[in-house]
A and B are shown apart, each in its own frame.
Chain A
């Protein structure tokens, strides 16, 4: 019997080829995982009449952990995002998005090592929207005390457990005094439990400017859902793009790991895209499962392959296909064990 059973959701567009490459690498790391493949996305509409089949939900509910490829969210149609639905159904309230310098990407920053903790279930993502007259639309921004407190507490604990020093709350409480005010108040309350950490707050627009000017000053950021969505993509841009931006959606008893990027349907089937973001998400998953050694081996091998720059994908100056890059990482891992 395998040590771990993980729900694998390859997703759409380039998702299946990316996830296959990632599965190859993770399996070669020596960790014992049984993968349960499940569907999601537009293809499911024809097959099951929904973007997110019940079978997929049940698999995640049973296994408590999933690795997920990208999906396509239809814009402005009646279909709800499968991603947002998953986060809500399993109450995966903490969206953890680390960004760090990757030498191969040659960025102008001296230092970039930020962990973003985005609240994942509330804010204007509560999907409470109405046309309140024939010319006025409104969206409720829902911020709750327990929802705000737990993401703050989660981030502060993660920071302490991982040797981080500074955690800042990002908000716009000077204007939205009730909603963002509550978010900030809950953060300050939770921070009282962590006197060993430097805690503070920063207004979201100033944070955006400071990130672009001097990202090295930031350590950990806690953000409401919408600001988190926007600023984590900004942070991915600081790193060099979405190709290396991983993500984890974590709840109290369940976690889904996925890249920040979309499904890039125009490249589907070409085995051209960089699987690193999903691979680093997989590395985060291995750490969450307690498989630290395997996670470290993959990460080390991936950076070695990137530093050498020979068998890398087109976006970092190479010509390797998705699976060839994965094989290069596997070869590097195997060479490291000899």
Chain B
């Protein structure tokens, strides 16, 4: 008879996984980072959030508390490969200090990442 752990592992479903973007956490004291389209190959910045609140694009309260840590979501127009992420990080590191990067995957076509408020 399988254990609960064995049973749980057996329920895992195979999913189609696609790499579609990257969340990059940039540290800067110079305000909201700005990027130009095409600066980083296939990646285009979709939004930037600070403490989970979207600070670009759109309305930003003048009272909003911002810390020096920005989540910048870069999406690619089509599914991408690992080497393109590596190239992106090399390019970005020339201009920005960053604390972490998180790949964004779609699982069976559904986003495996949250939107920003």
**What is A's interface to B at a CB cutoff of 8 Å?**
54, 57, 61, 78, 80, 84-85, 88-91, 93, 121-122, 125-132, 134-135, 142, 144-147, 150, 251-254
Contacts and interface: CB of A to CB of B under 8 A. Distances in A.
Main secondary structure, interface of B, reads loop
Interface string B100-117: 001011010001111111
14 contacts: A89-B117, A90-B61, A91-B61, A122-B52, A126-B51, A127-B49, A127-B114, A128-B52, A131-B105, A132-B102, A142-B52, A144-B65, A147-B51, A253-B63
Contact of A78 (B23, B115, B116): B115
B84 to A, nearest CB: 19
B115 to A, nearest CB: 6
Contact of B65 (A84, A93, A130): A93
A144 B67 contact: yes
Interface residues of B, number: 26
A144 B115 CA distance: 20
Contacts of B67: 144-147
Contacts of A146: 65, 67
Interface of B: 12, 15, 17, 23, 49, 51-53, 59, 61, 63-65, 67, 71, 102, 104-105, 107, 111-117
A146 B67 CA distance: 8
A131 B112 contact: yes
A88 B53 contact: yes
Nearest to B14: A134
By CB atoms of chain A within 10 A, which of B64, B113, B117 has the most?
Answer: B117
By CB atoms of chain B within 10 A, which of A85, A122, A126, A147 has the most?
Answer: A126
Given A89-B61, A90-B61, A125 B113 contact: no
